[in-house]
Amino acid sequence: MIALTLGEIAGLVSGTLHAVGDHDPASVVDGVVDTDSRQMTAGGIFVAKPGEHTDGHRFVGAAIANGAVVAIVEHLVDEEITQIVVGDVIDAIAELARGVVARVRAGGDLRIVGVTGSNGKTTTKNFLARILSDEGETVAPIASYNNEVGAPLTMLRITDRTRFLVCEFGASAPGEIARLAGLVHPDVVIELMVGLAHAGGFGGIEETARAKAELVAAAAPTGTAVLNLDDPRVSAMGAGAEERGLRIIGFGQSPAADVRASDIEVTASGTSCVVHVDGQAIALRLQVLGAHHVNNALAAIAATGALGVAPADAVARLETVEIAERWRMQPMGGDDVRIINDAYNASPDSMAAALRTLAQITGPGERTVAVLGAMSELGESAGDEHDRIGLLAVRLNIQRIVVVGADARRLFLAAVGEGSWDGEAVHLPDADAAFDYLKDELRPGDRVLVKSSNSAGLRFLGDRLGESFS
């Protein structure tokens, strides 16, 4: 974080300062800000966040041991550390982030990119970070730091030297993107797609679209909206962008797109296409698996182009990205049995895309194996969407369908009902049972997809399989 006095921090968070030792309101702090006491370093600021299962106030002592010199708390704790008492620590870190970003922006050349979408956010922010890091100091979220805690913590990592801040905005209810993006008003906003991820929290896909459009409404007045023209709900956001006077850059495979892809090919070693932009046709060879990542790459090329990066430079940098993120289409295993661990999260759209990729990368004499768990947060659509994925897996001729967990049973029943009944589909109670089954079932030539929502825990099953067959 940038250097601020304790008095300035207390003012930004509307808190009451309780200084200890040689601290006073004029004392300067510039350490890391985090809610995890284990991540504290010398001079850090620990945010004592109350949690669902524990309370950060219990870990102030651990934060001190790791170097914290200030704690933002909701009540004083009996520890020898300077404390700033606030009404709500979540609101406090948001307001601290707002203030820090405003100061850096006022004093330098900070440009901010915000990205949202039902799928592809994390891959796209990693693509953005790779492109922009060659232009200057770039701060981007760790993993999926995109919620009411993660987004402000990412913003607070900037320094006076930071040129680019990439923000990933997720949401599970209306108003959340507006609140988070409103802290920084990005110069460039990216709308990837509107799907059924988290639809249970929004009440349906149209409500999801309205929530995602909050990012366009929060863009800086002279900003740029980068919109997926292949998604009609995203394309429709162009009207709102025009009303706000934003520059619009369309991407996708649509002929109307300003940044367009053609000749898409998916193999076991990566994904290739031709990028058409500014009258150029540039070959792109991604190491990342899956045709669905092409649009993420196009979005990153379009957004960084709005910030002055030449498309050819953006393409060259994207070609160096080895994986989208851990547990996202991550190749594991060995030459005989290849594992694709894509079990960090799942929605109907991403599940379908991953299954299609599995089918595309499996050659003659090789066998497709899909290890599938539940998709969470789908609300009333959950049953029908699990049915749809079960049907798709059979229609793609996935030769072994291994369904894990009670919440995914509908997927198994749909696969069996579609014809996968002679041992091709099995249902197992948990990840341990699935591992025991697969370590004996898998054979040379198998191409294995492990896919589920985070809550199903199959990402660790993917790790175990990758290690066993490496």
Please give the annotated binding residues for ATP, written as ranges.
Answer: 117-123
Token code pair at residue 153: 């913590």
Per-state percent for the chain, helix, strand, coil, to nearest 5: 40, 25, 40
Q: In this structure, are residues 351 and 373 in contact, taking their beta carbons and an 8 Å threshold? A: no
Q: Which residues are annotated as a binding site?
A: 117-123
Strand partners of residue 251: 228, 259
What element of type H or E holds 275? strand 270-277
Residue keyed to tokens 């898998």: 442
What element of type H or E holds 16? strand 16-18
The span from the CA of 380 to the CA of 395, in Å, is 24
The span from the CA of 148 to the CA of 93, in Å, is 9
The span from the CA of 158 to the CA of 164, in Å, is 9
The span from the CA of 441 to the CA of 458, in Å, is 17
4-5 and 28-29 strand pairing: antiparallel
Instruction: Name residue 306's amino acid.
Output: A
Q: Which residues are CB-neighbours of 167 under 8 A, at least 6 positions away?
A: 112, 113, 114, 115, 125, 141, 146, 151, 154, 155, 180, 181, 184, 186
The span from the CA of 145 to the CA of 151, in Å, is 6
